[in-house]
Amino acid sequence: MATFLLEIGTEELPADFARQALPQLRALVEADLERLRLPFTAVRSSGTPRRLALTIEGLAARQEDLTSERKGPPAQQAFRDGQPTEAALGFARRCGVEAERLEVRETPKGPFVFARLLERGQATAELLPGLIPTWLWSLQGRRFMRWGAGESRFSRPVRWLVVLLDAEVLPVELPDCDPPLRSDRFSRGHRLLNEAVEIADAGVYAATLAAHDVQVERGIRAAWIREHLEVAAAEAGGALDLPEALFDELVDLVESPQLIEGAIEPRFLALPPEVLSTVMRAHQRYVPLRRPEAPADPLALEASATLLPRFLCVANGRPEAAATIRRGNERVLRARLADAEFFLRADQAVASIDRRDALDRVTFAEGLGSLRDRSGRIEWLTEVLVEALAPEGAIGQAAKRAAHLCKHDLVSQMVGEFPELQGVMGAKYLLAEGEERAVALAVLEHYLPRGAGDALPGSDAGALVALAERLELLLSIFATGERPSGSSDPYALRRAGNGLLQILWERGWRLDLLALLERACGHWAELLPDLKIGSQALAADLQAFLRARILSLLEEQGIDPDLAQAVAGESVPMERVLVHPLGVQQRAALLGDWRQNRNDAFQKVQEVVQRAARLADQATEADWKAMERIRQNPDDPSLYQKASEQELLAAVRSLSGAMTSNWSSGKIELLRTSETALYPSLDADDLLSIASSLSGLTQPLSNFFDGDQSVMVMCEDPLVRASRLGMLMEIKKFASLLADFTKVQNRKISA
């Protein structure tokens, strides 16, 4: 068994490329090894900013032999008087075996001739060289490039190639590179040393590079960086302000990490903490140090109460240059923070309300006017939301004021230089001008959530403006005819739709999105006449879009796809999905819990309700007319002759009565007239009552369908058939308050 090494040496790679490329490379290699019948123990990959490396351990020296069989002509045609005929000889030639080695075997169609073929395995050293160029050029990533006169494309120019099978160099050529490359055993050490490093054997690859100041194992680099950062933070009396994305980037930016500690001039601690953190983390890849005891105040105006006047940096230089690196980092940070200080003073010289007026000079999107026009549309939507949700106290006024001012900082100098701070700086400027804290906080929070996994608005006013902002984006961009398709979503409309629903679900707000969209689409048609908006078509497109986002979010939350379809799929009327989106989530959660924790009961309800629904759907026009006659005399005993019918009738009639203890009389009346109208009124307790009542129907339905007193629903007597179908329709109608059970699949949950 051998060890194989492939090292692709490059110029400095983007920090995230190795994390994207190495899993691809590993998958390609494992698939080819399996296809070629080359056993191996493990495939390991790692990389640094200048190399992608892959090692195959326990690799067989050659392919496994492949034995196969081929069926030939019938035995009576292949042999005559014990001698092979031309048919047998021709078959043997095609198979590459001697005629004497042919075998005769019995088959269901009689005796036939068979040939056993043996394909000898090739040596591993002969097979791998031809695969390596394919592996390399199959890797995918963003912003690939060509270099020199070559035709090859890669993330960065490929400069060397190490290919070893144990100590043997396997010959591989890359003629399309500039200059053309040929594999050898020479890697490269630390970038600043610029020395060739001979790899004597594939098994000592990592150790050899480590001796030349290159830690090729990413896991070891990550552990070293994490440990040294935590120790340095503890010694400084602070806590790391280190998002996981920044940590990953630090690991992939260095191949010989060293820790540098720098100082921040005290005067810069008068800047807002987010300014310092953004400059250090996003622009310089430094790690700020937080004061452990500092309160978490999103509206803090100065960093002095939040951050220590120090930062940590993971460098890739030589240890003897540590002092020089520290001075250089401090100088760069000083310049960046001095710029931020200037921007802050310049912005504070202009009132926020005047910046709002300046939004008129910035175009939002073609056909949609300026950012000030957009701000006005957000204000209108906020007022509609306040009217619909009726928040308590001064929340509505704070939300309206925040909506009026929420975009003013987009024309500030600070946000122009640091776009990550939009909303944050707007809130800080308003608070410094004496605006109410609730208003400033809502301005900050209306951008939340910024992406998947991000925090949601923490205040009601912030949530209201965040809803309005996302609704405005969806309405306006959809009005221009733009739609997200495939991986193309330039306006992040899917993210906006997700955020809209997540906020409603998290706040527990009952909002009639259907009515809101219809009203807003009509208003948009008046506001933007040049777009020639068809308000009904626009509303229908947005409704379908939001239904798709609900289904996607439910599955992300762990709801089984069939249950998601049962509560929000195409078979569910749009009213039941968007009149009360919170109810959709509640119904999906109830079904998921029911299936997971009381699976037997769930399966029984599912089976009988599905059976009832299938039969109810077979009702004809004649059956409907017969049901009208039955309603005139619903207690006719001739219609319910068997005990199972009488039992089911009693159970169906008790459905509404069973809810009386939990439902208001208004809900009972709605149930009698229109289950669609009832939907917005249902709460979590109502849903539990429905589930309990459905469970109570399983035995009467089982007796009705399969017991000793079972009946044939589709019988000859039109009135009896109509009475039986009518009961099943009532059950289907009642079950639909919870879900479309016809979309639920049989799925046994093991204990």
For the chain, give the percent of residues with pLDDT over 70. Answer: 96
Q: Is the peptide bond before 111 cis (omega within 30 degrees of 0)?
A: no
3 state DSSP class of 46: strand
Q: Quick one: pLDDT at residue 26? A: 95
Q: At 651, is the pLDDT very low, low, confident or very high (cuts 50, 70, 90)?
A: confident
pLDDT digits (tens, 9 = 90+) for 334-380: 999 999 999 999 999 999 999 999 999 999 999 999 999 999 999 99
Please tell me whether residue 135 adopts helix, strand or coil conformation.
Answer: helix
Beta-sheet pairing, 168-169 with 103-107: unpaired
Q: What does each C-alpha distance from 50 to 14, 56, 160, 589 come to in angstroms?
A: 10, 20, 10, 48
pLDDT at residue 150, rounded to an integer:
84
Reference 328, options 289, 282, 286, 281; nearest CA is 286
Nearest Cα residue to 128 out of 66, 172, 158, 186:
172
Pick 92 or 208 by higher pLDDT.
Answer: 208
Give the rounded percent of residues in the chain with a pLDDT score beyond 90.
Answer: 63
Polymer length in residues for the chain: 751
- Residue 749's pLDDT band (cuts 50, 70, 90): low
pLDDT digits (tens, 9 = 90+) for 218-268: 999 999 999 999 999 999 999 999 999 999 999 999 999 999 999 999 999
624-636 burial, b at 16+ Cβ within 10 Å, e below that, comes to eebbeebeeeeee
> Is the distance from CB of 411 to CB of 358 less than 8 angstroms?
yes
| pLDDT exceeds cutoff 50 at 62 | yes
Residue 747, classed as helix, strand or coil, is coil
Q: What is the model's pLDDT at position 102? A: 87
The pLDDT-based confidence of 656 (bands split at 50, 70, 90) is: low
What pLDDT does residue 295 have? 79
Residue 307 has pLDDT above 80, yes or no: yes
Query: Which long-range contacts does 649-652 make (Cβ < 8 Å, 24+ apart)?
Result: 649/727, 650/700, 651/696, 651/697, 651/700, 652/727, 652/730, 652/731
Token pair of 452, please? 């998947």
Q: Which of 228, 227, 224 is nearest to 215 (CA)?
A: 224
Output the pLDDT for position 105: 86
Residue 679 — very low, low, confident or very high, per pLDDT cuts 50/70/90?
A: low
Over residues 96-111, the mean pLDDT reads: 86
Euclidean distance between CA atoms 722 and 406, whole angstroms: 61
Task: pLDDT band for 664, please (50, 70, 90 cuts).
Answer: very low
Return the SS3 of 513. Answer: helix
Kindly report, residue by residue over 682-695, the tens digit of the pLDDT: 777 778 888 888 88
The 3-state DSSP composition of the chain as helix, strand, coil percent (nearest 5) reads 55, 15, 30
- The closest alpha carbon to 633, from 499, 495, 525, 726, belongs to 726
Residue 151 pLDDT exceeds 90 = no
Q: What is the pLDDT of residue 487?
A: 82
